[in-house]
Amino acid sequence: MGMNVGSSSGSGEPEVLMDVNTTPLIDVMLVLLVMLIITIPIQLHTINLDMPPPSSTPPQQEPVVHTVMIDFDGTVYWDETALPNQAAVDAKMHEVGEMAISDQPEIHIKPNKLVDYGVVAAVMASAQRNSVKKMGMVGNEQYVK
């Protein structure tokens, strides 16, 4: 609080005026307002995902599933058959990508937790390049500590 000494109304002693200093309150309010303005747009950003429409009918037949296992040393297995190189992986993904989307089998990618991420990224990039639409990562529970 600030004290101002004002003129008196004729008496010998000056009158003390007490007012609340509002400058710090205004400063705090402005800082809070700026923080609010900065943080609100971050919360409103959305990511558009191309999701399939919901369907209440169950599939008529069980989907065909191919498991792509990636061993710790970078060896890629297609349904327990070792593929010799990345060109063989591309060929398998190309076979799947040539099918109609409704007929494509599911590709389950199951990497070992010790494998270099570059090998996993190469398999996923091959699937994307060859238009494989039904792909998923399997075995993420091995990463839980």
Q: Give 40-66 pLDDT, tens digit per residue.
A: 766 666 677 778 788 888 877 888 999
Q: How confident is the model at residue 20 (pLDDT cuts 50, 70, 90)?
A: confident
Pairing of strands 65-70, 106-111: parallel
- CATH number for the domain formed by residue range(s) 65-139: 3.30.420
pLDDT tens profile 119-144: 999 999 999 999 999 998 988 777 77
- The two structure tokens encoding residue 136: 């998923």
Backbone angle region of 81, left / alpha / beta, with phi > 0 → left and psi within -120 to 50 → alpha: beta
The answer to whether the beta carbons of residues 1 and 20 sit under 8 Å apart is yes
DSSP for 92-144, written as a single string: HHHHHHTS-GGGPPEEEEEE-TTS-HHHHHHHHHHHHHTT--SEEE--GGGG-
Q: What is the pLDDT of residue 76?
A: 95
pTM: 0.59
Rounded to an integer, the average pLDDT of 7-27 is: 77
Residues 6+ away with beta carbon under 8 Å from 7:
14, 15
Q: What is the pLDDT of residue 122?
A: 94
Q: What is the pLDDT of residue 75?
A: 94
